[in-house]
Amino acid sequence: MPNVKWCIFMSPRFDQSKFIKRAKEGLQTEIASPDHILVQVVSSIDELNKISNLMYERLTEWYGLHFPEFKHKEPVKYVQVALAFDRAHPDKQKLAQIVGPNADSILHQANNSVGVHFSDEDMQMLREEARTILMLFELKEKQEKYADALATRLAPNISELAGPAVAAKLIAHAGGLKKLASMPSSTIQVIGAEKALFKHLKSGSPPPKHGLIFQHPLISTATRRARGRIARALAAKITIASKADAFTKHNIAALLKEKFEARAQDILNKTKNDKDVPSTRPPQSYPRRYGGGQDRGDRGSRPWQGGNRGEGNYRRGSSQNSGSRYGGRDERGGRGGERGRSNFRHGRR
């Protein structure tokens, strides 16, 4: 085969095992990065949160058939009462260990309740549901502590600046610490607000001012007018901190935090007397379908925009004295080109 060029892979001395070994080592090194572990842990926490909330809602409806008068603002306390309290066999001591001094009022409500009396089999299945929900709550709490510790070890500067929880979510949402370090501050500012960002780009709605970094206390407790500026300042400092964590490994968190807090305080002082009203954006002006532009002699940003004088529309329009299919002055076109309002075919006014 004279047309086949010789290459090293055709040599009998070529050994593919070396290349395969190097590829495996590189893959193992990449997979073993703590970034990927943190991504999985944060995703697991989000899924546990969704599952536990759904199951808690189901339990409230289920136990509400038995004891509809009982309400509690803490989900864990509600699940514990559903697990331990039965109206047919009330135990005041167990109830007092869970809700404290409110046990007497709950017992009074239970004695006068309009709920259904469950059988032993019904209560057994309801308690199995309650035990499962408590296990999910405990597992989520353990994973949150593990994620905070992992984020502190992986990105100490970001964790001290924005908090371990925010740092873990930013790294997980970006896909890794190095990917986060390669992002500009404007992207970091709106991480987690992709839906609002794409809605702004598509329909012209107001752009988002912050994403995940809204969980920082200085942003979440600030006034509406100050949130965007503080979020921008925090995103700029997170950008610097992420590069330090990913590449230089220098501890600069104290300096960045001091500068950010000073900048945030300065923003709060400047916006202290401003009215906290929602920012409104003026309605976007769209050109008439076959109308002219707004600037004299300019075509406008769209192909059908013409100028006030000398330019028709749809493609380029025409001058005052030129008769054409798209406007101008002729027997059919009228005076469309003169005022920049000629129609698509005949230039009707």
pLDDT confidence of residue 233 = 95
pLDDT confidence of residue 5 = 54
Helix axis angle, 75-84 relative to 34-66, nearest 10°?
Answer: 50
Q: For residue 19, report the phi and psi dihedrals to the nearest 5 degrees.
A: -65, -40
Would you call 136 helix, strand, or coil by DSSP? helix
pLDDT confidence of residue 348 = 46
CA-derived radius of gyration, the chain: 33
pTM over 0.75: no
Distance CA(115)–CA(80), nearest Å, equals 19
Cβ within 8 Å of residue 217, ≥6 positions away: none
Q: Hey, where are the domains in the chain?
A: 34-148, 157-270, 288-349
Give the CATH fold of the 157-270 domain: Serum Albumin; Chain A, Domain 1 (1.10.246)
- Supply 155's token pair: 């990105």
Would you tell me how many other CB atoms lie within 10 Å of the CB of residue 93? Answer: 7
CATH for 34-148 (1.10.287.4070, 3.40.605.10, 1.10.10.10, 3.40.50.2000): 1.10.287.4070
pLDDT values of the chain reduced to their tens digit, one per residue, 349 residues: 455 555 555 555 667 888 888 888 887 777 777 888 999 999 999 999 999 999 999 999 999 999 999 999 999 999 999 999 988 888 888 889 999 889 999 999 998 989 999 999 999 999 999 999 999 999 999 999 999 999 999 999 999 999 999 999 999 999 999 999 999 999 999 999 989 888 888 888 888 999 999 999 999 999 988 999 999 999 999 999 999 999 999 999 999 999 999 999 999 998 887 665 554 555 444 444 444 444 444 444 444 444 444 444 444 444 444 444 444 444 444 444 444 444 444 444 4
- Supply 243's token pair: 């590069």
Q: What is the pLDDT of residues 253-265, one digit of tens each?
A: 999 999 999 999 9
Q: What is the pLDDT of residues 218-235, one digit of tens each?
A: 999 999 889 999 999 999
Helix (H) or strand (E) holding 93: helix 92-99
Q: Which residues are 324's β-sheet partners?
A: 327
Distance CA(57)–CA(79), nearest Å, equals 11
pLDDT confidence of residue 309 = 44
Would you call 242 helix, strand, or coil by DSSP? helix
Residues 137, 52 contacting (CB under 8 angstroms): yes
Residues 135, 89 contacting (CB under 8 angstroms): no
Would you tell me how many other CB atoms lie within 10 Å of the CB of residue 310? Answer: 15
